[in-house]
Amino acid sequence: MKGFFKHISILILMLSIGVVILNNLYDNVFLNTSPRGKLQLAIKQEQEHIDYLFLGNSRVENYIDCSIIEAASGKICKNYAMSGSSYQDAYVLLKLLKRSGLTYDNLFIQLDPSLKNEAMTESFRASLVPFVNSYEIQIDHVALNLSPAEDHLPFYKYAKYDYLYGVRACFAQLYKNTSEYVELGYVPQYHTGNSNFGMLEDFALKNRFTELIKEEAVNDKAKIHFFTSPYCPDMDNTVVFNKLTSFYPGYINYSSFYKESHYFANCTHMNDKGAQVFTKQIIKDFNL
């Protein structure tokens, strides 16, 4: 029996040493390599002044090609939209960019039915986990504290979110530090959808974090612009967006602006051809 407990103790000791080594290895990889992805770029890279900043979800990331804006205006444009993100995510990202030194003249926010969601998305929070304590990140109005297990158990935070921090991600962080689209932020969709139809339901017209983003822009003496990206021609009930005009000054509703289905990858996202056309419309309407 003593021999059994001795072997168990040795095994536990070896496992403990192993997870500590893995934790230190992963910390070193994710904290000390060049940024990969927009969130890491916001946290790790010293920021500069830009003229046009776009925040939002995939309905900005797949829609706004900053290279076209820069070519037309001669000014600096960055698309920091992230697929699947919420308005709380966008607020936190703006604060992180400012924390790293970013200043801006114009901020663009896209409005859609995700206004009903005021929570931080799980994927965004998971992406922040390795950096919260090491970079001493604190954001007003947002709880970013790690759980006791994430904070104190070696390697737990990486094992918990293994879909983000698995072996493949670790190697990608080491050997493919910057993705193709990080710099200007536009992520194109190249296909044309076969089933372009949908139905929009009523949604909340105001969101706590769009209001906080407004306050940030006012405090930063920047102009803030609101718009809704186009939906496919067969999307029903786009009139719900007309209600937003009362809450967001200068708001432009593009939800039913285009009648050509070949501009769309699906009913809620434009393809690359559509994005090129829409970006030029944004340049025209906002005098960029």
Pairwise CA distance, residues 169 & 166, whole Å: 5
Q: Which ranges of the chain would DSSP assign to H, the alpha helix?
A: 2-32, 38-44, 58-61, 66-73, 87-99, 122-128, 148-152, 156-160, 162-165, 167-175, 208-219, 272-285
pLDDT of residue 96: 95
Ranges of each domain in the chain = 38-285
Averaged pLDDT of the chain = 88
Residue 95 in this model has a pLDDT that exceeds 80: yes
pLDDT of residue 14: 74
Residue 79 in this model has a pLDDT that exceeds 50: yes
pLDDT of residue 115: 95
CB 125 within 8 A of CB 118: no
Between vectors from CA 121 to CA 32 and to CA 107, what angle results, nearest 5°?
80
Residue 8 in this model has a pLDDT that exceeds 90: no
Pairwise CA distance, residues 184 & 63, whole Å: 12
Which among 117, 121, 90, 119 has a CA at the least distance from the CA of 204?
Answer: 117
Q: Model confidence at 184, in pLDDT bands (50, 70, 90)? A: low
Residues 6+ apart with CB under 8 A from 214: 224
pLDDT of residue 46: 86
How many C-alpha atoms does 190 have within 13 Å on its Cβ side?
0
Report the predicted TM-score, pTM, of the whole model to 2 decimal places. 0.91
| Span of 110-119, 179-188, 248-257 with lowest mean pLDDT | 179-188
Fold of 38-285: Rossmann fold (3.40.50)
